[in-house]
Amino acid sequence: MKIEYDAGTALSIMRGNPVRGWTSGKPEKMAKERLTTGDYLAVQHKPKFKIDPTWPIFTMGSCFAREVENILMMRGLPLLLRGHGVPAEHFESWDETTGRGGGADRGQLSRGALNKYSVRSMTHELKRVLRGESYPDDGLIELAPGQWFDPHASGLRLLDRDTAFANRKRLTEATATIKQAKICFFTLGLTETWLDAETGIAMNAHPGPNWLQRMPERFRFVDYGYDATLADMLDIIGLIREHCNPEMRFVVTVSPVPFGATFKDADVIVANSASKSLLRAVTEELFRRFDYVDYFPSYEIVLNSPRAIAFEDDQLHIAREMVAHVMTTFQGAYLPPVEQPQAA
């Protein structure tokens, strides 16, 4: 959807925008100055709407969405996925010595299994919950006798049938909380996706290189383009407003977390840039089309902050302080100020 103004309107908008210039305007507002402070990037974000702190919030997306959730819960907002997840002991990362897995302690539930990396996998999960789509064995795959893999979960190890199906029920119930939401926060992660050729499911994650090699006909790699990704997001938004709150509002963003490896014949840095650029273009189109869809620039805030403070040492995950800065910007834009206690 194009944006078009007459010259007078364009000049009026430009003159009224204090952060319009890269090298012009007030020094503290210039992009040149804000990009070279050595500190986290400060952006001026004008939201389309404010969020009532009593509104139930549903979040979906990549691992960056889990970081967002932590900040929202610290603020005391009604996060619908709070208390949902999968037992820490069921994750690949489970360590018996430390008693931790999936970022949670023994006996606790971790929301890490809810990570959704591609838009197509998000679409399948929501169609399953809201439209009642079903798959053989609920979409789970028995890779070897008694070893079940959930292609719509994230980070889980192979489990026995009963445990795997119980976890699938937990994750489905978590997604179903979207029916109670008044606002959805979507973080789009990547475009590279793996398909289960038998069920047609776009898997949230593949089962590992060894299984891909053993079952080359069952699993297929797809890197979705702009048209398919936009169509999926339009389908998601329409599905949610049809089956959930018809006045649902959406905040969409692009995860600044790069993917760990690419399956395309390209430098991973170039492939990641292509994927993120495509997702950013999709979110821009949604922002332009709908007054109830807003774009929040967490991607730009992180990518234009000094890398040494924005990312952890692996240059993959976002530093906790960087996430806090992003969410401080989010709160300042969308939420009312926190009331300070009155002095005695």
What three-state secondary structure class fits 34?
helix
pLDDT for res 75: 80
pLDDT for res 342: 58
Q: Are 84 and 107 in contact (CB under 8 A)?
A: no
Is the pLDDT reported for residue 343 higher than 70? no
More confident residue, 295 or 102: 295
Phi, psi dihedrals of residue 203, rounded to the nearest 5°: -75, 145
Tens digit of pLDDT for each residue in 59-83?
Answer: 998 877 777 787 788 888 899 999 9
Residues found in the chain: 344
Which residues, at least 6 apart from 287, have a Cβ–Cβ distance to it below 8 Å? 252, 293, 294, 295
Is the pLDDT reported for residue 123 higher than 70? yes
More confident residue, 213 or 204: 213
Entry pTM: 0.93
Distance CA 188, CA 176 (A): 19
Is the pLDDT reported for residue 88 higher than 90? yes
pLDDT for res 65: 78
Q: How far is CA 160 from the centre of its chain?
A: 29
- Mean per-residue pLDDT, 103-118: 92
- Mean per-residue pLDDT, 312-323: 92
Is the pLDDT reported for residue 339 higher than 70? no
* Greatest alpha-carbon span in the chain: 71
Tens digit of pLDDT for each residue in 145-163?
Answer: 999 999 989 999 999 999 9
Phi, psi dihedrals of residue 59, rounded to the nearest 5°: -120, 145
Is the pLDDT reported for residue 344 higher than 60? no
